Structure 1
Amino acid sequence: MNTPADHPPTSTPHGEDLLFGAAADEYARFRPGVPEQVAWLLADAVKGVPDLTLLDLGAGTGQVAAALLPALPRITHLDLVDPSRAMLREAFVILRPLMGNRTLSCHEVPANQFTPQRPNYRADLITCCRAFHWMNRPAVLAMADQVAAPHATLALMGDGSLWTHEADWTTVLKDLIRSYLGPGRRAGSRGTYTEPSIRYEDDLADSAFSDVSQHLFRFPRAWTPQQVIGYLRSTSFARADLFAERHAEFEAEALHLLEGHADDSGRLTEQVDFTVLLARRPGGTA
């Protein structure tokens, strides 16, 4: 297997490490993985493709690849794209035991700036999970059109966050966060977060990948209060530095609140809607 990156990492010129990179360890430990049924859906979407190249955009700490590598033994090359060097280092450690003879390349750039390092490069499956809303979406889709094989499948997927999930315990948790950080949803050091005004489906309709099917997976996800606290450290809306010297105070109050809302087994339940948009060029089949 090759080294963690196609070229030595450099200091991040885009400031993107400031959004999630400082919490890469918590991200790897506490962010939920990609459900197995989603991995099998993606494997079926490319079932006719041998020697497959997977391009994962906004790869984070490698959750998509970790789910897909066991389900898709035909993956021969994996490209992880993320602007955070810290995230890519965590991903490399996590994925190394799963790689076997497959090759892995890490690209420390925003998704729209991905440039293949291999001649005649063609991605058969392009994935983006829980990250497309942070990207220059038209530019990413234009880049994908340049590097995708004619039969390629593009998968945009995600399940929101504990900020978007509606339950008694998430409501009081958001109220607590707001009491410390103000009424708006924070977006790291960028200020407050604004929901995209255009749906992903509309982005895809205006792109080369306009043949779209939607797939929804619903299931419960259980958290312990301590897991929720760890998860919050990995988010753009409740990471530690946003609270400055009050972070320990916030975590103690949040833990007490979450323990009070846990069930008899000490668990907090989230009802997950995990959505996958599978997109191809019109007439393209795997």
Structure 2
Amino acid sequence: MTQDHHVAPPPSPPDRFGAAHAYARHRPGVPREVAGFLAAALAPVPRPVLLDLGTGTGQVPLAMLESMSPAHVSVVDTSGERTRAALGALLPELGASRVTGFTGRAEDFGPVAPDRRPHLITCCRAFHWMDRPAVLAMADRVAAPRAVFVVMGDGSLWTHGADWTRALRGLIQSYLGPVRRAGTTGVYAEPSRSFDEDLAASAFGRVSVHEFPVTRVWTPEGVLGHLATTSYAGPALFGDRHAAFEEDARRLLGTHAALGPLTEESVFTVRLARRPGDLA
């Protein structure tokens, strides 16, 4: 196996999501059923090339490796720390496969060799942060024939509607204001058009949507660790009040946990997109 790491100019945009070690530990992974579904979609390709955009710490390719043996994996993130963490996590699991890391904007990615044109391009819980038309245009340029572009995700604790998540959101708002933050650089704004509209306007206009129910049970400490990796409740947003926030959040979560499990019932949605001229 081999490892390469490339950094693209211009410099990466400001990071919103916290340290890579916390990200790897506290971000929920990709459900096994989803990884198996994506592997089945690539069944005609014996040794596919995978490209994961906004990889974080490599959770998508790590999940995929349980279901398939790719020829090559490329991971892309705007954070060099997370890109290196993804490479470090993937290397022991790759066997004879190869891996390349790219630090920079997703739309600036390009394969470093002709045999690394991806058959599967994934973007998990990150597409809304990107210049989506530019990313889709890049994907069309670099992807192999009959490639699959996948947008997937499952919302967040901020948007979840359980009693404990609503109470937690209210606590965050009591510290940071009513508007959802997007790191230290601004507030979050919903995309101007839906992912389905983005895909329909791209080369990958043939879309099928698949839903996978997911149940997670959190611990108070797990929730606090997860919040530290988010754009809406990372430590830098609270400044010198972060310790006080964590104390209040731990107390709130402990109260709710005493009444029953901190359960998150969610749906992991997979948008599987192909070029209209490609055969399934």
| 8 Å CA contact retained: 2:73, 2:98 | yes
**Aligned with residue 193 of structure 2, among 167, 183, 198:** 198
- After superposition, give the CA deviation of every residue in 1:216-251 in whole Å (9 maximum; x if it has no partner): 011211110100000000000000111111101100
| Structure 2: distance between partners of 1:110 and 1:98 | 26
| Structure 2: distance between partners of 1:194 and 1:133 | 10
Alpha-carbon distance, 1:12 to partner = 7.6
| Structure 1: distance between partners of 2:9 and 2:202 | 32
1:53 partnered with 2:49:
yes
Give 1:91's aligned amino acid: A
Q: 2:21 aligns to what?
A: 25
| 8 Å CA contact retained: 1:58, 1:128 | yes
Percent identity reads 52
1:253 partnered with 2:251:
no
Query: What secondary structure, in the 3-state scheme, does the structure 1 residue paired with 2:197 have?
Result: helix
1:182 partnered with 2:177:
yes
- After superposition, give the CA deviation of every residue in 1:45-69 in whole Å (9 maximum; x if it has no partner): 1110122100101111001011001
RMSD between superposed Cα atoms in Å = 1.6
Q: 1:184 to 1:210 in 2, by over 3 A?
A: same
Task: Show the 5 A alignment for 1:200-219.
Answer: 200-219=195-214
Give 1:31's aligned amino acid: R
Task: Show the 5 A alignment for 1:245-284.
Answer: 245-263=240-258, 267-284=261-278
| Structure 2: distance between partners of 1:162 and 1:208 | 33
Q: 1:10 to 1:208 in 2, by over 3 A?
A: closer
1:38 partnered with 2:34:
yes
Q: 1:245 to 1:11 in 2, by over 3 A?
A: farther
Give 1:194's aligned amino acid: A
Task: Show the 5 A alignment for 1:41-190.
Answer: 41-73=37-69, 75-119=70-114, 121-190=116-185
| Structure 1: distance between partners of 2:36 and 2:279 | 17
Give 1:203's aligned amino acid: D
| 8 Å CA contact retained: 1:12, 1:83 | no
Q: 1:10 to 1:114 in 2, by over 3 A?
A: closer
| Structure 2: distance between partners of 1:220 and 1:48 | 31
| Structure 1: distance between partners of 2:221 and 2:250 | 7
Alpha-carbon distance, 1:285 to partner = 3.0
| Structure 2: distance between partners of 1:42 and 1:195 | 27
1:13 partnered with 2:11:
yes
| Structure 2: distance between partners of 1:247 and 1:185 | 17
| Structure 1: distance between partners of 2:30 and 2:137 | 26
Query: What secondary structure, in the 3-state scheme, does the structure 1 residue paired with 2:203 have?
Result: coil
Q: Which runs of 5+ in 2 are unaligned?
A: none
Give 2:12's aligned amino acid: H
| Structure 1: distance between partners of 2:258 and 2:204 | 44
| Structure 2: distance between partners of 1:142 and 1:170 | 37
Give 2:56's aligned amino acid: G
TM-score using structure 1 length:
0.94
Q: 1:100 to 1:140 in 2, by over 3 A?
A: same
Query: What secondary structure, in the 3-state scheme, does the structure 1 residue paired with 2:50 have?
Result: strand
| Structure 1: distance between partners of 2:120 and 2:31 | 17
- After superposition, give the CA deviation of every residue in 1:87-134 in whole Å (9 maximum; x if it has no partner): 112112221221111100000011011011113542100000000000
| 8 Å CA contact retained: 1:26, 1:230 | yes
Alpha-carbon distance, 1:272 to partner = 1.1
Give 1:13's aligned amino acid: P
| Structure 2: distance between partners of 1:54 and 1:27 | 22
| 8 Å CA contact retained: 1:33, 1:64 | yes
Deviation >2 Å, runs of 4+: 1-4, 9-12
Q: 1:263 to 1:150 in 2, by over 3 A?
A: farther
